[in-house]
Amino acid sequence: MWLLDRFLRKVVRSGRLTITDADGRVYNYGQGEQARIHLRFTDKRTAMHIARYPALGAGEAYMRGWLVVEAPHDIRDLVLMITAQASHASEGIEARSKMRLLFDKLGWWADQFNYRARSSKNVKHHYDLDRQFYELFLDEDRQYTMAYFADGKATLERAQLEKKALIAAKLHMPADASGMRVLDIGCGWGGLGLYLNRHYGCEVLGISLAPDQVQFANERAAAAGVADKVKFQLVDYRDLTERFDRITSVGMIEHVGARHFGEYFKHTFDRLHDDGIMLTHTIGRTDGPGFTDAWTRKYIFPGGYIPAMSELIRPIERTGWQLGDVEILRYHYAETLAEWYRRTTLHGEEITRLYDAELLRMWQFYLAGAEQAFRNDRLVNFHIQSVKRQGVLPMTRDYIQTEAARLGQRETPPQWHLAPRVA
C-alpha cells in the first residue's frame, strides 16, 4: 500500500478520501468540507495493482470487484474527484516509467494499423453487444455520439434531436432533396440517415462494420416504409465506388486509426460530387497529438484514436478539400456521458442479467472516465465542414442556425422508457 499511499497524499488536495485496505487498515487523504468518499479494497493485490500501472490497474481493480466505492458515492464520484486534481499527479509516484511510456506508445502505434480485417474485428468488439444493452442507456433513437445541449437544460432526447438538426443544417440541403444521395459513414443504428430522409426526402446509404447495427437499421427503415430510399450495408468505406451529393461521418474517424487519416480523406474526397458537402463530427484533442491509453485500447476501443485538429487538417488539405466551417463543441459530450452513466447505473440489474457484474462495472468506469476527459481534461468535439468548391456555401454561416432552429421546431422528442426491459 505504501506506493499508492504516497501517490494519493500528493494528489488528493481538495477532496476527502478514505481507503480501508484488505487487511483492515484505514488511510485518510485530503481536506475540506466535501463529503468523504470511502473505498474498500477486497483483495490484497489491489493497491499494488493500481500503483504499478494506474492507467490500467485502477479500471481493472474496479471491474474485478477489488475496489468498492461505498454508498452514497460511486465510481463516477471517485473518478471526477481524482481527475479534477490531475495537475498534482505528476508530483506523485512515477506511475509510468519512461520505459512503460515507451511501450505504451509502441503498443498504441501498432494498434493503428487498421487494415480491413482488423477494422471489422475492432468494431465488433464494441458494437456487437446485445442491442438490448444499448437500449438501456441511449435515447430512443439510439444516438451513440455527443448530444447537443443548446440551452444547457434539455433532456438527452431533445439534445440528440438538436444534434441531428445541427448536422443536417451544416449539410446545406434544399428543402426538397429527393434527387440527392447522402452517404452516412459509420451509420450506427440508422437514426441520422432516417432523420435526413424524413426531413429532406433524400436517398441515404448508411454503412457500418457492425452486423447488428446494419440489421437493426434496415429493420427500422422497413418499419418506416422507406426501405427503398434508406439503405444500410455492412461494408468498409474503402470499398465504395459510388459518388454522393453529401457525406456525413459522425463518430467514425475515431475508429479509422492515426495512420489512415490521409487515406480516409482521400477516399471520401473521391466519393463526393464536385458541388457536394461533407460534415465530419469527431471527438478531438485540444493539446496536440497523443495516444490512446492502455485501458481503453484493451477493453473498450481497440484500434481507436482521438485526433488533434492538426492531425486532421494536414490530410484534409493534402487531399484537395477546402474547409467550409470548423466548430469546437465544448462540454456537450460531458453532459451526454453523465446521462448515459446515470441510465446505465439505473439499469444495473438488467445489464448484470444480460451479461455480468464485471461488464457493468467496466461500462461504468468507461463512461465516468470519458466524462472526466471532457469535463476536466482536454477533449472536445470537432465539426469540420469540408467542400471541393467554396462557392457551394453561403457567404456567412447564419444559414446553419436558421436551418437548425427550423428543424428543431418540427419534431417533439420521444420520452425515454424508464421501465426495465430485460426479462
Residues 6 or more apart whose Cβ sits within 8 Å of residue 133 = 351, 354, 355
- In this structure, the answer to whether residues 86 and 154 fall within a common structural domain is no
Domain end (from 63, 95, 127): 95
Looking at residue 421, what is its pLDDT? 42
Average pLDDT estimate for 306-316: 95
Number of domains in the chain: 2
Torsion of CA 297, 298, 302, 304, to 10 degrees: -10
State the Cα–Cα distance between residues 392 and 412, nearest whole angstrom.
31
> 75 near 361, Cβ under 8 Å?
yes
Question: Which residues does residue 153 pair with via DSSP β-bridges, in sequence order?
Answer: none
- In this structure, the answer to whether residues 316 and 348 fall within a common structural domain is yes
- In this structure, the answer to whether residues 288 and 147 fall within a common structural domain is yes
Q: How confident is the model at residue 3 (pLDDT cuts 50, 70, 90)?
A: confident
Q: Is residue 338, in this structure, part of any structural domain at all?
A: yes
Which run of H or E residues covers position 328?
Answer: strand 322-329
Looking at residue 43, what is its pLDDT? 96
Average pLDDT estimate for 180-202: 98
Looking at residue 20, what is its pLDDT? 97
- In this structure, the answer to whether residues 75 and 144 fall within a common structural domain is no
Q: Is residue 108, in this structure, part of any structural domain at all?
A: no
Q: In CATH, what number is assigned to the domain containing residue 175?
A: 3.40.50.150
Q: Is residue 420, in this structure, part of any structural domain at all?
A: no
Q: How many other C-beta atoms are found inside a 10 Å radius of the C-beta of residue 356?
A: 11
* Tens digits of residue pLDDT in 72-121: 999 999 999 988 876 544 444 444 455 455 545 445 455 555 555 545 55
The three cell numbers of residue 309 are 485538429
Domain end (from 95, 130, 149): 95
Q: Is the dihedral of CA 60, 38, 86, 343 positive or negative?
A: positive
- The pTM score is 0.90
- In this structure, the answer to whether residues 170 and 223 fall within a common structural domain is yes
More confident residue, 422 or 27: 27
> 291 near 53, Cβ under 8 Å?
no
- To the nearest whole percent, how much of the chain has pLDDT over 70? 88
Instruction: Report the alpha-carbon angle 256-257-258, nearest 5.
Output: 130
pLDDT exceeds cutoff 50 at 229: yes
- In this structure, the answer to whether residues 28 and 169 fall within a common structural domain is no
Q: Is the dihedral of CA 215, 216, 220, 223 positive or negative?
A: positive
Please provide the distance, in angstroms rounded to a whole number, between the alpha carbons at the two ends of the chain.
43
Q: Is residue 224, in this structure, part of any structural domain at all?
A: yes
Q: How many other C-beta atoms are found inside a 10 Å radius of the C-beta of residue 414?
A: 11
Residues 6 or more apart whose Cβ sits within 8 Å of residue 183 = 204, 205, 206, 207, 240, 242, 244, 246, 247, 248, 271
- In this structure, the answer to whether residues 86 and 139 fall within a common structural domain is no
The three cell numbers of residue 395 are 457567404
Average pLDDT estimate for 390-414: 94
Q: Is residue 418, in this structure, part of any structural domain at all?
A: no
- In this structure, the answer to whether residues 287 and 382 fall within a common structural domain is yes
More confident residue, 423 or 12: 12
State the Cα–Cα distance between residues 129 and 420, nearest whole angstrom.
18
- In this structure, the answer to whether residues 128 and 60 fall within a common structural domain is no
Spell out the SS3 assignment of 190-237.
Answer: CHHHHHHHHHHCCEEEEEECCHHHHHHHHHHHHHCCCCCCEEEEECCH
Q: Is residue 417, in this structure, part of any structural domain at all?
A: no
Residue 22 belongs to what domain range? 2-95
More confident residue, 231 or 422: 231
Q: Which of 307, 241, 225 is nearest to 233 (CA)?
A: 241
Looking at residue 119, what is its pLDDT? 53
**SS3 category, 250:** strand
Q: Is residue 43, in this structure, part of any structural domain at all?
A: yes
Looking at residue 142, what is its pLDDT? 94
> Whole-number mean pLDDT of the chain?
89
Q: Is the dihedral of CA 144, 323, 303, 249 positive or negative?
A: positive
- In this structure, the answer to whether residues 133 and 171 fall within a common structural domain is yes
Q: Is residue 423, in this structure, part of any structural domain at all?
A: no
Looking at residue 417, what is its pLDDT? 61
- In this structure, the answer to whether residues 310 and 240 fall within a common structural domain is yes
* Tens digits of residue pLDDT in 324-357: 999 999 999 999 999 999 999 999 999 999 999 9
State the Cα–Cα distance between residues 255 and 20, nearest whole angstrom.
40
- In this structure, the answer to whether residues 325 and 377 fall within a common structural domain is yes
